[in-house]
A = this chain, B = another copy of it.
Amino acid sequence: MNNKEVPHVVIVGGGFGGLWAAREFRRDAVRITLIDRNNHHLFQPLLYQVATAGLSSPDIAAPLRHILRRQGNVTVLMDEVSGIEPATKQIRLAAGGSLGYDYLILASGARHAYFGRDEWASHAPGLKTLDDALAIRRRILTAFERAEAEVDPERRRAWLNFVVIGGGPTGVELAGTLAEIARHTLRREFRRADPTRARIVLVEAGTRVLSTLPEPLSQKARQQLERLGVEVQTGAPVTAVDADGISLGDERIEARTVLWAAGVAASPLGRSLGVSLDRAGRVPVASDLRVPGHDAVFVIGDLATLSVDGKPVPGVAPAAKQMGTHAARMIRRLIGGQSTSGFRYRDFGNLATIGRWAAVADLGRVRLSGMVAWLFWLFIHILFLIGFRSRLIVLINWAWSYWTYQRHARIIVGTEPGETRPAADTDAVNRERVEPAGADPRRKTAAAP
């Protein structure tokens, strides 16, 4: 039997969905091409930790080809897919050329989106990739640096105001961690700005934060956020975002740092399929995860929309993994001449972390909050990092961080596009002699000539 005769499965996207699909095929007589625009699989649940300087990029990411090195039937390509032609079973690659497939699994996920207000993007960066996380880290750390360098109290305050838009898990994590950084991590490190006076506002258009959790847990989450020093504003849709802050209808919040955690839109690849998409750009799939009308195309993860037993499958990592495994199994059946079966989502519960010792968990019958939920969150996240060398490093970093309140990755790299660092304050007042906080008077007396 010739190698070329085994079915060729192309998987687009190396996130949880795509990677789990590839792994499911590890003993099958197929050849697999896994394509991702990045060279790495990302453990997205901890991405906010990179954005808030608690972890380094390599702690939560690993090269796809390294993860799959022992699986001889997989070829990994770092490339971008520019289009799909289901009629001829071809995909087009951005680098040129095209690639035929017998079966296609689309798992290219979602990006953050601005509900048609793309002009907000430059003022309010979102968080989906490692590059996003490094850009947010740069903004947060630079804001405190600017506050320290600024001599005008009004402008200094604007540098110490932070707004997070969106009260889902990412927004809650970012706001909670920001509060911790300001209140604890940076304390005593500044001489003129006082980070503990930073104002952190979490803005949510709906009536409560973490709206996918039961209402009592949303309440708990809000209380824990407020205890950390976060102002929570619910029922307030954002009407404007600019370089100096945001507007909520008539209300105005001045802030030089605004982060976006409010909306996602599916990868544009879905459009190539020629089927009608939902409002978020997702592809409606049949119960076996195939695209109606395209028998050889499966869509999984955040790019797919599907309801099982009347309940939509949520856009979370466990759902993507389960869909990846299911799609691979269905392809195996099709190759064997069998019929497909419907995807069933096993919901293990919902978790959201808020900050030090603060989290909420909905495990069906059991609901947890506070320290217990936080320890559970910690356990689960370390557990799922297994298989990365990262587990040990992340544990050490977290232990260190929770003892000292320090975040070791407070390193600013890169510059904003078109910006020279530091950006010139266009209307900076003429500064005369910086006045640092006083030297220790005892020292002064002792050492004075």
Chain A residues near B (Cβ < 8 Å): 1, 3-4, 6, 8, 27-33, 37-40, 53, 56-59, 61-63, 65-66, 69, 72-80, 93-100, 130-131, 134, 141-142, 145, 148-149, 151, 188-192, 335-337, 389-390, 392-393, 396-397, 400, 406, 408-414, 420-425, 428-440, 443-449
On whether the beta carbons of B39 and A432 are closer than 8 Å, the reply is: no
**In the bound complex, how far is the Cα of B76 from the Cα of A412, in angstroms?**
15
Residues on B with C-beta less than 8 A from A439 are 3, 6, 28-31, 72-73
**In the bound complex, how far is the Cα of B93 from the Cα of A56, in angstroms?**
31
Q: Which of A58, A97, A149, A422: most chain B Cβ within 10 A?
A: A58
**In the bound complex, how far is the Cα of B30 from the Cα of A51, in angstroms?**
37
Chain B minimum-CB-distance residue to A37: B421
Q: Which of B27, B337, B428, B433 contacts A8 (CB 8 A)?
A: B433
Smallest CB separation, A63 vs chain B (Å): 5
Smallest CB separation, A403 vs chain B (Å): 11
**In the bound complex, how far is the Cα of B58 from the Cα of A53, in angstroms?**
9
On whether the beta carbons of B33 and A436 are closer than 8 Å, the reply is: yes
Residues on B with C-beta less than 8 A from A414 are 131, 134, 414
Residues on B with C-beta less than 8 A from A446 are 27, 29
**In the bound complex, how far is the Cα of B100 from the Cα of A100, in angstroms?**
68
Main SS at interface, chain A: loop
On whether the beta carbons of B400 and A396 are closer than 8 Å, the reply is: no
Chain B minimum-CB-distance residue to A99: B434
Residues on B with C-beta less than 8 A from A437 are 72, 75
On whether the beta carbons of A95 and B428 are closer than 8 Å, the reply is: yes
Q: Which of B28, B93, B337, B440 contacts A443 (CB 8 A)?
A: B28
Residues on B with C-beta less than 8 A from A425 are 95-96
**In the bound complex, how far is the Cα of B397 from the Cα of A390, in angstroms?**
10
Residues on B with C-beta less than 8 A from A3 are 435, 438-439
On whether the beta carbons of A148 and B422 are closer than 8 Å, the reply is: no
Residues on B with C-beta less than 8 A from A400 are 389
Q: Which of B4, B58, B440 contacts A435 (CB 8 A)?
A: B4
Residues on B with C-beta less than 8 A from A438 are 3, 31, 72
Q: Which of B57, B421, B431 contacts A98 (CB 8 A)?
A: B431
Residues on B with C-beta less than 8 A from A134 are 413-414
On whether the beta carbons of A59 and B56 are closer than 8 Å, the reply is: yes
A40 and B412 in contact (CB under 8 A), knowing A65-B190, A100-B433, A443-B29? Answer: yes
Smallest CB separation, A68 vs chain B (Å): 8
Smallest CB separation, A52 vs chain B (Å): 13
On whether the beta carbons of B39 and A145 are closer than 8 Å, the reply is: yes
Residues on B with C-beta less than 8 A from A431 are 93, 96-99
Given contacts A31-B436, A75-B148, A98-B431, 13 further A-B contacts (CB under 8 A): A3-B435, A6-B439, A28-B439, A28-B443, A33-B434, A39-B410, A66-B410, A69-B189, A76-B148, A78-B149, A97-B431, A130-B411, A389-B406
Q: Which of B149, B190, B411, B448 contacts A57 (CB 8 A)?
A: B411
Q: Which of A97, A131, A145: most chain B Cβ within 10 A?
A: A97
